[in-house]
Every structure is written in C-alpha cells, then in structure tokens.
C-alpha cells in the first residue's frame, strides 16, 4: 500500500498513517491475503486444478481487484473458452456445458461467455431433438 486510504498521505511501511493516524492494518492484511490467494490460484492452475484455481482467484478478487488478478481472470476465461470450443468440435456437448458453467463463475456477465453459452444451449437442444426423433422413428418401425 503506497497511500493512506483515508487521507491519501504517502506511506512508507507504516501500519499507522503518519498524517491522520488511521490504523491501516486491516487494509494491509487484506492486500496481503489477496496476493496469497492470487499466488494460490496460479499455483493450482499450473497443477491442472482448475476448480481450486477459480475458487482462489475469486477470493483474491473479492479482497482486492488488481491489474494482475483481472489479467489472470481474463487469461482463465480465454483458456476455458478455447477448451469449450474444442469440446464442442469433438461433440462432447455435456462436458462443454460443464466447463462453461465453471468458467462463468469467474465473470458471470462476460459477453464472450454468454455468447458461447447460448451457442452451447442451441447445440444441446438440437441434439435432444435428434435423439427424440430417432427414438420416435424406432418406436414406429419395430
């Protein structure tokens, strides 16, 4: 923390503001916790533990939204987007839908993810229609 959140005075490494005497220990503690959770999110992602990575990143973002946490969130969304497209190309519709659900926890109103969700829903609906038609046809022609 470089400046006091109360009076905007410059801070050195003090927990108390030299100008207004505000106790900044809770703010500094939350910044440190946010850094810890971001490090955990990156570590989990590197270990291919996507759900844990998302949970840690959400914790980091709730404590302090920094440029780095936002960039990492955008990176994860992009990675999920590519993975969902690959699953759709392989016709693994339910797996794609599950991965998309996980990704939407990062940024529920992402236009990119909303558009992909609509497309996935469309493909799932068409798939179910095809299954119904084929089961009706098999019932008619035993």
- The full set of domain ranges for the chain reads 1-65, 66-142
Q: Which pTM does this prediction carry?
A: 0.76
Which residue is it, tokens 């119904």? 132
Give pLDDT tens digits for 90-112: 999 889 988 888 888 888 888 88
Q: What percent of the chain has pLDDT over 70?
A: 96
Question: Phi and psi (nearest 5°) for 10?
Answer: -70, 140
Closest CA to 81 of 102, 67, 66: 102
| Mean pLDDT along residues 108-117 | 85
Give pLDDT tens digits for 27-67: 889 999 999 999 999 999 999 999 999 999 999 999 999 99
Taking each helix axis as running N to C, give the angle between helix 25-46 and helix 67-89, from 0 to 180 degrees, rounded to the nearest 10: 30
């Amino acid at each position: 923390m470089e400046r006091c959140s109360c009076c905007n005075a410059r801070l050195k490494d003090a927990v108390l503001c030299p100008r207004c005497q505000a106790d900044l220990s809770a703010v500094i503690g939350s910044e440190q916790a946010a850094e810890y959770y971001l490090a955990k999110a990156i570590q989990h992602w590197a270990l291919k533990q996507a759900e844990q990575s998302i949970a840690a990143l959400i914790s980091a973002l709730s404590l302090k939204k920094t440029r780095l946490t936002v960039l990492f969130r955008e990176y994860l969304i992009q990675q999920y987007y590519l993975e969902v497209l690959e699953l759709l190309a392989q016709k693994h519709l339910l797996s794609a839908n599950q991965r998309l659900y996980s990704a939407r926890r990062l940024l529920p109103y992402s236009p990119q993810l909303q558009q992909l969700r609509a497309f996935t829903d469309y493909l799932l609906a068409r798939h179910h229609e095809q299954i119904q038609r084929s089961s009706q046809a098999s019932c008619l022609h035993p």
